Amino acid sequence: MQNNVPKNIVILISGGGSNMAAIVRAAQQENWHQRYGACVAAVVSNKADAAGLAFARQQGIATEVLDHKAFGTREAFDAALADAIDHYQPALVVLAGFMRILTPGFVARYAGRLVNIHPSLLPAFTGLNTHQRAIDAGCKVAGVTVHQVTAELDVGPILDQAVVPVLPGDTADTLAARVLTQEHIIYPRAVRALLPLL
């Protein structure tokens, strides 16, 4: 039984937005609006030239751009970002290739409803250069993790994971491409699993 309060999803991107697009397509194909009272209400980027903005506009989704370089501090940018997000009364804020480390205040504001995707099998390889680090460590498998965001980087509760093999001769790029195909599967799945709980 759905209540009448829409479960708005706001997605933050910095670039191509392929994970955002995967979530939008899943929402459309699986009819999240009817099933869960949920929809992707807005896509927000810190870069005006983020290619994902064009996709969002083509889908009729509201878009906003806040250039982080226009703000003197991370706190000032995050405060403006939160104001933009709150305009859409989000039930869930989804980080999809949003290349900013968020301040503790921002994370606290959306505690329990802020999710991110990380291209490793957390808790392994937090931070950057995950694919090369997995190869250098001799890992036989790598993967991707969807997790709730906490003040500490890449250590929030794990919501979903997918494993991919590390193949002989893999480069960071070939491994990243294999992981990305799984990202597009598990991120919509993890978001969908949260919707009945919101």
Are the C-beta atoms of 30 and 11 separated by less than 8 Å?
A: no
Whether omega for the bond prior to residue 123 falls within 30 degrees of 0, making it cis, is yes
Distances (CA, A) of 67 to 12, 16, 70, 78, 196: 13, 16, 6, 11, 33
What is the model's pLDDT at position 3?
A: 54
The predicted model gives 48-76 an average pLDDT of 97
What is the spatial distance between Cα 165 and Cα 179, in angstroms, rounded to a whole number? 9
Binned at pLDDT 50, 70 and 90, residue 2 comes out as: very low
For residue 27, give the nearest of 175, 189, 196, 167 by alpha carbon. Answer: 189
Instruction: Write the pLDDT tens digit of every residue in 72-91.
Output: 999 999 999 999 999 999 99
**pLDDT above 80 (res 1):** no
Give the closest residue to 96 by CA, choosing from 161, 174, 160, 18.
Answer: 18
- Is pLDDT above 70 for 184? yes
% of residues, the chain, pLDDT over 90: 94
Give the contacts of 81 (CB within 8 A, at least 6 positions apart). 12, 44, 46, 66, 106
Number of other CB atoms surrounding residue 117 within 10 Å: 21
pLDDT band at 47 (very low <50, low <70, confident <90, very high): very high
Instruction: Report the distance separating Cα 147 and Cα 194, nearest Å.
Output: 11
> Rounded to whole angstroms, how far apart are CA atoms 93 and 114?
5
pLDDT digits 0-9 by tens, 126-172: 999 999 999 999 999 999 999 999 988 889 999 999 999 999 999 99
Structure tokens at 42: 């807005």
Q: Which residues contact 179 (CB under 8 A, 6 or more apart)?
A: 119, 131, 142, 143, 144, 164
Length of the chain in residues, anyone?
198
Residue 57 has pLDDT above 80, yes or no: yes
Cα-trace Rg, the chain: 17
Any idea which residues carry the catalytic annotation? 118
